[in-house]
């Protein structure tokens, strides 16, 4: 997983100089279709593959997943050809009408990978799962760089080149299964498939709507920014979101899993989770406030330097989104408390509220006609909802709210003191970005060195992340990476 993130990160300066923002915006619109529909094409029976005790029952679920993927893919081909042109015209993406058949194909590739990943996870074939991520990300980067270098630089070209790259992930897993016939599902028969479909009916009944809501909320900015503005604005947003979400994926997912395991064990044994919750909250605030403050301060200059002059606006978007993403890093692990405490209704309420608030914010910003305003309101709306979820989680864990606020203010003051040299250089001395970045890098290095040396929790956290980097996560294919 970590290697695939590195490939995505270090290929960004190259691809961003080969393709204009509009091309990334069109490719993001194309990707959003697969990202929303792909996870539910198997009706989420892929999530049940890990559950049965008997391997034969898991084989029935694997085949059942493939069956529904085939049905949904065929229906999508007809639906896309009927409604696709009108939708793409409304989203100012008419150039993609010529390749309508790519849309259902992207869903098929996205969906096909999920039951295969679940099957190989069940069989503990973790190495090939890690390899397919590298194949996928390597293919995405290689095809985009190679195609852009020889002149295929439109949005349609970028979407097509990345679609080619997406084939490599599932291909690696399928080749492994064909070469090792013992890993193939066996003992499949029609009656058994029907039995498993009835046995795990709750997955299509409940998990489909959850997955659809989560994916639609995540992709809403892409679709609404295209509707109200243009593909170039979408390109700026997706470049900003993809690069800044890397620490969220690496750190946030690791923290979420570790915290959930430890909190569940303590709660089951009747122990208090207050200390564990407060330590998690303090650690994330202490170690993530500074870099996100840097993004707010240096975002435009940093993106212009890293990706090229046309991408300065993406840095402005990062500055607007950074506080919201930081709060997600803090709150998402804490938010797992509603599962620990068996209060899933609270989680659903906050998910729905966040979805509605951010959709309304984007629509309001779009009506105003300013993309920066739209993302600012989007970010502020998310901050309010996540702050309420964080407050609920801390209260549920019996962590005093005033102490939590004090820890946040303390981290803000300390981070501000360490950023002061860079601020003086930028705002008062008006030095070049190189000197400002150098000062920021030195102060950040000193900050982390001092804190890690004196904090055993930080060393434990680093070890936890290292252990998580090698594990398989439910990873769909995002052709914007």
* Residue 183: inside a domain: yes
- Residues 222, 84, 161, 230, Cα dihedral to 10°: -40
Report in angstroms the alpha-carbon separations of 63 from 58, 189, 192, 311: 9, 9, 10, 45
CB neighbour list of residue 36: distance below 8 Å, 6 or more residues apart: 212, 215, 216, 219
The pLDDT profile of the chain, 481 residues, written as one tens digit per residue, is 556 667 777 888 999 999 999 999 999 999 999 899 999 999 999 988 988 888 899 999 999 999 999 999 999 999 999 999 999 999 999 999 999 999 999 999 999 999 999 999 888 888 888 888 888 888 888 899 999 999 999 999 999 988 888 888 889 899 999 998 888 888 888 999 999 999 989 888 878 887 888 788 889 999 999 999 999 999 999 998 888 877 666 666 666 666 766 777 777 788 888 888 888 888 788 878 888 888 888 889 989 988 999 999 999 999 999 888 888 888 877 766 766 776 767 777 887 888 898 899 899 988 988 899 999 999 999 999 889 888 888 888 888 888 888 988 988 898 888 888 888 888 888 888 888 888 888 988 898 888 777 776 666 656 655 554 444 444 443 445 4
**Number of folded domains that form the chain:** 2
Residue 438 — φ and ψ, nearest 5°?
A: -65, -45
CA torsion through residues 282, 288, 292, 294, sign? positive
Examine the domain organization and report whether 274 and 202 are in the same domain. no
Dihedral sign computed on CA atoms, order 445, 451, 455, 458: negative
Whole-prediction pTM value?
0.83
Q: Same domain, yes or no, for 249 and 190? A: no
In a domain? residue 321: yes
Is the Cα dihedral 171, 172, 178, 182 positive or negative?
A: negative
Domain boundary among 211, 243, 273: 211
Rounded Cα gap, residues 67 and 160, in angstroms: 26
134: exposed, middle or buried (Cβ count in 10 Å: 0-12, 13-18, 19+): middle
DSSP 53-67: SSHHHHHHHHHHHHH
Let me know if residue 34 belongs to a domain.
yes
**Would you state the torsion angle of the CA atoms of residues 391, 404, 250, 443, taken in this order, to the nearest 10 degrees?**
150
224 lies in some domain: no
HSE, side-chain direction, 13 A CA sphere, residue 45: 26
CA distances to 187, 249, 359 from 218, in Å: 39, 14, 10
Q: Pick from 154, 184, 211: which residue ends a domain?
A: 211
Question: Which among 458, 479, 425, 481 has a CA at the least distance from the CA of 102?
Answer: 479
Phi/psi of residue 432, nearest 5 degrees: -65, 160
Residue span of the structural domain in which 128 resides:
2-211
Same domain, 16 and 48: yes
Together in a domain, 33 and 163: yes
Q: Is residue 170 part of a domain?
A: yes
Do 281 and 407 touch, CB atoms closer than 8 A? yes
Residues 240 and 138 in one domain: no
Same domain, 171 and 236: no
Verify that 8 and 109 share a domain, yes or no: yes
The pLDDT value given to residue 138? 85
Both 200 and 325 in one domain: the answer is no
- Contact criterion met (CB below 8 Å) for 143 and 90: no
Please indicate, yes or no, whether residues 196 and 319 belong to a single structural domain of this protein: no
Residue 454, helix vs strand vs coil: coil
User: For residue 474, which phi and psi values (nearest 5 degrees)?
Assistant: -70, 95
pLDDT score, position 476: 42
The residue from 211, 237, 255 where one domain ends is 211
Q: Is 153 left (phi over 0), alpha (psi -120 to 50) or beta?
A: alpha
Q: What is the pLDDT of residue 297?
A: 84
Residue 70 included in any domain: yes
Going by the DSSP 8-state scheme, the letter that residue 97 receives in this structure is G
Q: What CA–CA distance (Å, rounded) separates 5 from 374?
A: 28
Residues 179 and 297 in one domain: no
Residue 47 resides in a domain:
yes
Q: What is the DSSP string of 292-361?
A: HHHHHHHHHHHHHHHH-GGGHHHHHHHHHHHHHHHHHHHHHHHHTHHHHTT-HHHHHHHHHHHHHHHHHH
* Domain membership flag for residue 217: no
My answer on whether 200 and 332 are in the same domain is no
What pLDDT score was predicted for residue 82? 93
Query: Could you tell me which of 256, 242, 227, 434 has the C-alpha nearest to residue 329?
Result: 256
Which pair of structure tokens corresponds to residue 138? 């390597």
Quote the pLDDT of residue 479. 41
As a whole number of angstroms, the distance between CA 28 and CA 314 comes to 14
Q: Do 55 and 110 reside in the same domain of the chain?
A: yes
pLDDT for res 290: 87
Q: Centre a 10 Å sphere on the Cβ of residue 208 and count the other Cβ atoms it contains.
A: 17
Closest to 80 measured CA to CA, from 56, 55, 103: 103
């Amino acid at each position: 997983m970590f290697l695939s993130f590195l490939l995505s990160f270090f290929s960004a300066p190259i691809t961003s100089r080969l393709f204009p923002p509009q091309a990334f915006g069109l490719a993001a619109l194309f990707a959003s279709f697969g990202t929303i529909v792909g996870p539910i094409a198997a009706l989420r029976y892929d999530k049940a593959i890990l559950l049965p005790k008997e391997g034969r029952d898991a084989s029935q679920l694997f085949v059942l997943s493939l069956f529904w993927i085939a049905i949904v893919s065929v229906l999508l081909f007809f639906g896309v050809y009927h409604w696709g042109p009108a939708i793409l015209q409304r989203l100012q993406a008419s150039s993609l009408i010529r390749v309508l058949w790519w849309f259902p194909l992207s869903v098929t590739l996205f969906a096909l990978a999920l039951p295969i990943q679940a099957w190989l996870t069940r069989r503990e074939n973790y190495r090939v799962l890690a390899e397919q991520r590298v194949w996928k990300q390597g293919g995405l980067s290689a095809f985009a760089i190679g195609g852009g270098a020889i002149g295929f630089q439109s949005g349609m070209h970028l979407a097509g080149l990345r679609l080619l790259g997406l084939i490599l992930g599932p291909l690696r897993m399928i080749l492994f299964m064909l070469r090792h016939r013992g890993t193939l599902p066996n003992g499949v028969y029609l009656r058994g498939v029907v039995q498993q479909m009835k046995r795990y009916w709750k997955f299509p009944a409940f998990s489909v709507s959850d997955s659809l809501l989560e994916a639609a909320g995540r992709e809403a900015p892409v679709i609404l920014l295209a509707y109200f503005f243009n593909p170039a604005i979408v390109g700026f947003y997706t470049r900003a979101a993809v690069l800044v979400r890397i620490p969220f994926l690496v750190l946030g997912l690791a923290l979420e899993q570790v915290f959930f395991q430890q909190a569940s064990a303590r709660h089951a044994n009747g122990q208090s989770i207050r200390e564990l919750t407060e330590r998690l909250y303090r650690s994330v605030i202490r170690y993530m406030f500074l870099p996100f403050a840097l993004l707010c301060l240096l975002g435009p200059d940093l993106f212009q330097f890293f990706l090229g002059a046309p991408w300065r606006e993406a840095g402005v978007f990062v500055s607007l989104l950074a506080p919201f993403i930081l709060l997600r890093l803090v709150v998402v692990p804490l938010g797992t408390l509603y599962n620990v405490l068996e209060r899933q209704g609270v989680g659903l309420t906050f998910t729905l509220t966040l979805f509605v608030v951010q959709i309304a914010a984007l629509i309001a910003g779009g009506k105003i006609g300013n993309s920066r305003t739209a993302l600012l309101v989007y970010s502020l709306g998310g901050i309010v909802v996540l702050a309420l979820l964080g407050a609920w989680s801390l209260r549920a864990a019996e962590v005093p709210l005033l102490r939590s606020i004090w820890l946040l203010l303390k981290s803000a003051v300390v981070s501000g003191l360490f950023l002061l040299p860079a601020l003086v250089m930028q705002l008062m001395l008006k030095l070049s970005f190189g000197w400002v970045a150098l000062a920021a890098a030195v102060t950040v290095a000193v900050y982390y060195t001092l804190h890690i040396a004196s904090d055993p929790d930080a060393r434990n956290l680093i070890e936890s992340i290292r252990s998580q980097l090698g594990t398989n996560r439910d990873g769909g294919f995002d052709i914007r990476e």
